[in-house]
Structure 1
Amino acid sequence: MRIVFAGTPDPAVPSLRRLIESRHEVIAVVTRPDAVAGRGRKMQRSPVGQLADEYGIPVLTPHKPAEPEFAEALTELAPDCCPVVAYGALLPAEILDIPRHGWINLHFSLLPAWRGAAPVQAAIAAGDEITGASTFRIETGLDTGPVYGVVTERIAVTDTAADLLARLADSGAALLEQTLHGVEDGTLQAIPQSTEGVSYAPKITVEAAQVRWDQPALAVGRAIRAVTPLPGAWTTVAGNRLKLGPVELVEEALPERQIDVRKTGVYIGTATTAVRLDRVQPQGKRMMAALDWARGARLEPGAVVE
């Protein structure tokens, strides 16, 4: 099939690469416009756009997919199908019918669970043991379209969002390729999603990534891993924001929110047992060992996180 691929961040790259190397022809790529990124705050092409450039594939970067110029360009390209992986913008109804096989999305959950922008993060935070990826035909509802296929993935107790997403990006790329094969051959039919087990995973804001120390240690650990590395879990100490890497659960209890600095590490009390910090990042500095931070911070006895 002649396909136009839509995607933006790193997790979409394995799918684009696999489709470029497949029997299908990638005639163009749609991605979000170049944006300021990195310490130098320079304009950068998205990871998907960069890969397309490497292969000499035309790149479309509409500010909004509803722009008439985008619909005109897509109509002129006349794709058979438009696969989508983490594109980052809602697709208006008027362009969904342009490709004869529609737009097929790779979503990183087992639909109808965790519809929305942050399914991997939501699965980890909820303590799910199994998750996966689904391919479905896009319709106007939020991730409500009929499903073509799924792959499953076990969530390890140490998985961060980055760890799990990297595995799903790879297995999902294979699923997406096989889905396109089946759609082209007419051997694959989409099945409507169940009306039971529906859950939602909205985008996680920086504010929502603040650690709630009044929760049990297990929930605290999951919440931190769910937002690692982005947007990053954080708390405040003496009025200063402190970004946290994944923590270790320990059996000893401490008063809730209390910081205890020992030779063996830096511990913080939760609603149940304590957690031991590993890596932290003070404002304006790089990630460092928690003990190094604590020694430099010269915390008062009985100091607490806020």
Structure 2
Amino acid sequence: MHTDNRKKIVFLGTPQVAEIALRILLEAQQFLKVILVVSQPPSRSARGKGETPSPTHKLAFEKGVPVLTPQSAKDPEFLAAIKALEPDLCVTAAYGNYLPKAFLEIPKYGTLNIHPSLLPLYRGASPVQRALADGVSQTGVSILFSVAAMDAGPIAAQEEYELNNSIKAPDLLNILFEKGAHLLLKTLPKLFSNTLTAHEQDHTKATQADKIKVEESFLDFSQPALTLHNKVRAFAGWPNTKSSFNLNNESIEMKIITTRVSENLTNMKKGDLIFTQKSLNICCGDSQILEILEMQLPGKKVISAVDFQNGLRGKQLKLNL
């Protein structure tokens, strides 16, 4: 009888970026066997009609891999189920639930996490968004061992990634989780042959990447143009950035989708607003210009600044300051 010598993997992840990583691991069937996928519970649909399973849940279902969706990873029944499977390794990617010590003690080789930053920088829930908001020119992905403290475990592998100043958070998240899954696969043979040297993080250099709050999404045009542009990139996808405008004495709130920064060549004053051929230009706190290229009115589709201007039909647009 044929013996299956592949290492048994339990994968924990929830959103689209985790689905990208899971798909890559499932392609390494020659030496890995994903025996279980753990995801956050299905979300209730807006109209109360049934539930929507997460992207990882859907992929696991398609590939015939069993799925568990505990409310909490501390649940005794869940922990017993994991223990009974005797996994060699657990892998987490944007799972979204705290893993207790009792969980971390189960897998033979530990639990590895794909984290989209160069740890110890940007520990926490929103590493990509916070890095983009800070305007960094380099980030990367870390493969680390999960410990009780968030994102503080020893680093098994890291890969750097250079950034341009236009990439947005959803695209960067996809890139980093894809790179992270490939880096993980390159690291596993060393782990399984006990030749992997993981190194402790320098905890004195740790920075935090707190969860994004919707209240942060307003753009304050008294700030520098580059600060606002970086925020637009960072908050793309969710919750997006928004601003308040005055249209013929009526206040409207508009999402700002795509921007770039340009020099103030026409001596605009702070708070001034003019349309050019391709953009809505606003003079910011540092007297530099934030060019808005795409925007979205409430309940409408994303449109270009050109289409927005055409739709104004002579109405007066001002910034609500």
Q: Shorter-chain TM-score category?
A: over 0.9
1:206 aligns with 2:214: yes
Question: In structure 2, what is the equivalent of residue 121 of structure 1?
Answer: 129
Question: In structure 2, what is the equivalent of residue 2 of structure 1?
Answer: 8
1:148 aligns with 2:163: no
1: CA distance, partners of 2:76 / 2:50: 29
* Mapped contact 2:258–2:295 kept (Cα < 8 A): no
Matching of residues 255-270 of structure 1 within 5 Å:
255-270=269-284
Unaligned runs of at least 5 residues, structure 1: none
Residue by residue, what CA displacement relative to the aligned partner does 1:7-56 show, whole Å, maximum 9, x if unpaired? 01111122212221211110000001111358997621111111111110
Report SS of the residue matched to 1:247. strand
2: CA distance, partners of 1:83 / 1:13: 12
* Mapped contact 1:258–1:305 kept (Cα < 8 A): no
1:15 aligns with 2:15: no
* Mapped contact 1:281–1:288 kept (Cα < 8 A): yes
Unaligned runs of at least 5 residues, structure 2: 1-6
* Mapped contact 2:130–2:209 kept (Cα < 8 A): yes
* Mapped contact 2:86–2:106 kept (Cα < 8 A): yes
Indicate which of 244, 266, 272 corresponds to 2:256.
244
Percent of aligned pairs sharing the same letter: 34
Q: CA deviation at 1:114?
A: 0.4
Q: CA deviation at 1:155?
A: 0.8
Matching of residues 45-124 of structure 1 within 5 Å:
45-124=53-132
Report SS of the residue matched to 2:97. coil
Q: CA deviation at 1:298?
A: 6.3
Report SS of the residue matched to 1:144. coil
1: CA distance, partners of 2:172 / 2:135: 13
Question: Closer, same or farther in 2 for the Cα pair 1:94/1:178, shift >3 Å?
Answer: same
2: CA distance, partners of 1:39 / 1:219: 38
1: CA distance, partners of 2:18 / 2:103: 21
Report SS of the residue matched to 2:121. coil
Question: In structure 2, what is the equivalent of residue 271 of structure 1?
Answer: 285
How many residue pairs were aligned?
306
1:286 aligns with 2:301: yes
Indicate which of 220, 231, 240 corresponds to 1:223.
231
Corresponding letter in the other structure for 2:270: E
Corresponding letter in the other structure for 2:241: A
1:184 aligns with 2:192: yes
